[in-house]
Amino acid sequence: MTKYVPVEDNNHQRASSLEIGQIDNINTTGFQRYFLKKDDFHQIDKDALFSGREINFSIFINKDFDFQPVINASDNMPQKVSPEILDMEGDIAIKASDIPLYNKYLKFLEDVDLPDNNKTILMKEKSKIILRDVLADPRDSENIKRSSAAVEKIADTILNNNDALYDLLSIINYDYYLYTHSVNVAVLSIGLGVSIGLPKKEISNLGLGAILHDIGKSSIPPEILNKSGRLTESEFKIMKFHVLEGAKILRRHKCFPEESFPAVTQHHEKLSGMGYPFGIKASNMKLYGKITAIADCYDSLTARTPYKYPLAPFSALNIIVKETENYDHELLAAFIKMLGRVKKVEEK
């Protein structure tokens, strides 16, 4: 039987009050093998697939540290999606080499008459691919411009349709992917920005900083990023470096607005001064830093990884709320209200 043991989050180095459930029966060799293969695949949302529709890319199920093929398709041999595949447990993934075909499929579906919520998922899928490209090549300015265009679309969608936020908030995946986390943090930050009445221009600047908040992780060695156990002190020092590295990368991009920087440089700061990299206190934290700190923490707590069970939204909020000294009270109240509204949409 799976046993839960307390663990601190490697990214946030939580105090004991923020312990989350770790799965303690990890097969280390299988786990390492899995991480070597993981980058060869790309996680996709089940809602982007439609039963009976033809696809020309292969589909895999990511479960138990393995990627099992479930549809073998190609340009020469398209296959129909069966309903059973959409019911299978685990993440659906495609080969990373099939991303261009998947992108074409998403583009094709743009012109198909689909319900709004499906269109929203397709937009999120495209954003995840852009983020994957950004993290693979953070120095390419075209990728930053594409991120900016993706943020505009997310912001417009949320501004035009309150219910879109729910469609955009990720279903809980079997595994954690930095590109999905980046898009989730942008969605949550934009949602919070809209909730507190920020003007459109500010929503865009906030969203761009939020979607690129972890861009510096592209420079962190994968063995530290993907470590299943607690980081050593020296490993955590390297992990913390991602914040300044992110700012350094973005400084080189003239198209990245000055106003967006606090979302990147302050997303691990805490009002109490106990955050990193500078340990600045509330009076020196900017609004975008305070917003992304809440969004980042919430998404990390509710994310599942192969070695950590996800927290339910209520439990995650309960943990954040207890840290009264670390997060802005008014923003947190607006954040809870926003997620409460999302929950109501879910119950409809």
Applying CB under 5 A, the residues found at the interface with Fe ion are 214
* E-strand stretches of the chain: 4-7, 20-23, 41-44, 54-55, 59-63, 66-71, 79-80, 91-95
**What's the closest the beta carbon of residue 253 comes to Fe ion, in angstroms?**
18
**What's the closest the beta carbon of residue 31 comes to Fe ion, in angstroms?**
22
**What's the closest the beta carbon of residue 325 comes to Fe ion, in angstroms?**
20
Find the residue with minimal CB distance to Fe ion: 214
Q: Compare residues 175 and 214 and give the one whose CB is closer to Fe ion.
A: 214
CA-based nearest residue to 210, from 253, 145, 263: 263
CA-based nearest residue to 49, from 40, 61, 34, 64: 61
Q: Compare residues 124 and 217 and give the one whose CB is closer to Fe ion.
A: 217
Q: What angle do CA 133, 137, 142 make, to 5 degrees?
A: 75
99-105 long-range contacts, CB within 8 A, separation 24+: 99/42, 99/129, 99/132, 101/56, 101/57, 101/75, 102/42, 102/44, 102/57, 102/129, 103/129, 105/55, 105/56, 105/57
**What's the closest the beta carbon of residue 190 comes to Fe ion, in angstroms?**
18
Q: Compare residues 124 and 181 and give the one whose CB is closer to Fe ion.
A: 181
Q: Compare residues 158 and 215 and give the one whose CB is closer to Fe ion.
A: 215
Q: What angle do CA 52, 53, 57 make, to 5 degrees?
A: 120
Q: Compare residues 10 and 157 and give the one whose CB is closer to Fe ion.
A: 10
DSSP secondary structure letter of residue 21:
E
**What's the closest the beta carbon of residue 185 comes to Fe ion, in angstroms?**
9
Q: Compare residues 120 and 260 and give the one whose CB is closer to Fe ion.
A: 260
**Encoded tokens for 279:** 């340990």
**What's the closest the beta carbon of residue 181 comes to Fe ion, in angstroms?**
9
**What's the closest the beta carbon of residue 268 comes to Fe ion, in angstroms?**
6
**By CB neighbour count within 10 A (0-12 exposed, 13-18 middle, 19+ buried), where does 348 fall?**
exposed
Q: Compare residues 124 and 240 and give the one whose CB is closer to Fe ion.
A: 240
